[in-house]
Amino acid sequence: MEKIKYIFFDLDDTLLTSRVASLMAYKKVYKKFKPFRIVSEDKFLNICKEAKREYINDSKYTTYPRYLFWKKIIDKLHICVEIVDIVTVINMYWNAILENIETYEGALNLLKTLKRDGYYIGIITSGDFLSKARKLISCHLDKYIDGLFPTELVISDKSTGEIYQYVLDSLNVKATGCVMVGDVPDQDATPAKKIGFTTVLGTMRYGGKELSDTTMSSVDYSISSLDKLLNVLERINNERVS
Ligand SMILES: [Mg+2]
């Protein structure tokens, strides 16, 4: 079988500490935007969590302004806001994200090494181009990325597998030469493995803990830190030579 030449990463909670940054951003918005302080911070954070879940369930992909997400929060709080307020909140949120988001340990070195070794490095991520590109730029990873593939390209959730097929078609490559690294098995592993990618689960967001056997059934390898991906690649490519 051919050697692996293409490495694709999910972005949020695989390369970047997005969940942490997101929580900090909600807190900042709560602190800065007075109409939200009609409820306690804890209650507001719970409403955000609920609205996010509903928004993700309703959406085929998420958009940069996430207007429907913020509208859910506003409706749940029964408050009236003007157009300018919505824009203010959206800007506050994204500025706070960019201020707080960080790479997982070893991300930059890993990308540098993969680049040096001649791999193609792509990002396959849920959502829109703009927010993901801004995160990459803010964390200084953008110059190592050969292709950024958000699900808005196919207007379909990652779990359908359409984005993975889109990537193969647009690069004109076979899945057998590709690895997908991500943190959510049914988004990043199952649909990719189904069409032939080798899949790697990064368990950094779970504190490096192994997940249950059922969850792991779609995953070929798991890594508890990003630097371990190099060993996995060496293992796969060595097996393919012999
Ligand atoms: Mg993720």
Q: How far is ligand 1, taken at its centre, from the CA of residue 70, in Å?
A: 21
What is the distance between the alpha carbons of residues 46 and 142, in angstroms, rounded to a whole number?
33
Tell how far the Cα of 15 is from the centroid of ligand 1, in angstroms: 8
Neighbours of 28 (CB within 10 A): 17
Eight-state DSSP code of residue 88: H
Q: Model's pTM, two decimal places?
A: 0.94
Instruction: State whether residue 124 is helix, strand or coil.
Output: strand
Distance 191 CA to ligand 1 centre (A): 14
Is 68 in a helix, a strand, or coil?
helix
* Two tokens, residue 10: 């999910």
- Residue ranges covered by each domain of the chain: 6-17+103-241, 18-100
The closest alpha carbon to 136, from 4, 24, 9, belongs to: 9
What does the pLDDT read at residue 242?
Answer: 58
pLDDT attached to residue 57: 87
Tell me how far the alpha carbon of residue 181 lies from the centroid of ligand 1, in angstroms.
9
Between the CA of 188 and the centroid of ligand 1 the distance, in Å, is 8
Q: How much distance in Å is there from the Cα of 20 to the middle of ligand 1? A: 12
What is the Cα–Cα distance from 239 to 176, expressed in whole angstroms?
13
What is the DSSP secondary structure assignment for residue 225, as one 8-state letter? S
Most distant CA pair in the chain: distance in Å?
66
Q: Which sign, positive or negative, has the C-alpha torsion 106, 120, 228, 198? A: positive
Per CATH, the number for 6-17+103-241 is 3.40.50.1000
Which pLDDT tens digits describe the chain residue by residue (242 residues)?
889 999 999 999 999 999 999 999 999 999 999 999 999 999 999 999 999 999 988 887 888 899 999 999 999 999 999 999 999 999 999 999 999 999 999 999 999 999 999 999 999 999 999 999 999 999 999 999 999 999 999 999 999 999 999 999 999 999 999 999 999 999 999 999 999 999 999 999 888 777 777 677 789 999 999 999 999 999 999 988 75
Residue 206 CA to ligand 1 center (angstroms) comes to 12
Q: 230 CA to middle of ligand 1, Å?
A: 20
Q: In the prediction, which pLDDT does 77 show? A: 97
Residue 72 Cα to ligand 1 midpoint, Å, equals 23
Angle of helix 83-100 relative to helix 129-138, nearest 10 degrees?
40
The secondary structure of 131-160, three-state, reads: HHHHHHHHCCCHHHCCEEEEHHHCCCCHHH
Q: How far apart, in whole angstroms, are the C-alpha atoms of residue 170 and residue 179?
A: 16
pLDDT at 96: 97
| Secondary structure (H, E, C), 73-84 | HHHHHCCCCCHH
Closest CA to 95 of 15, 25, 13, 11: 25
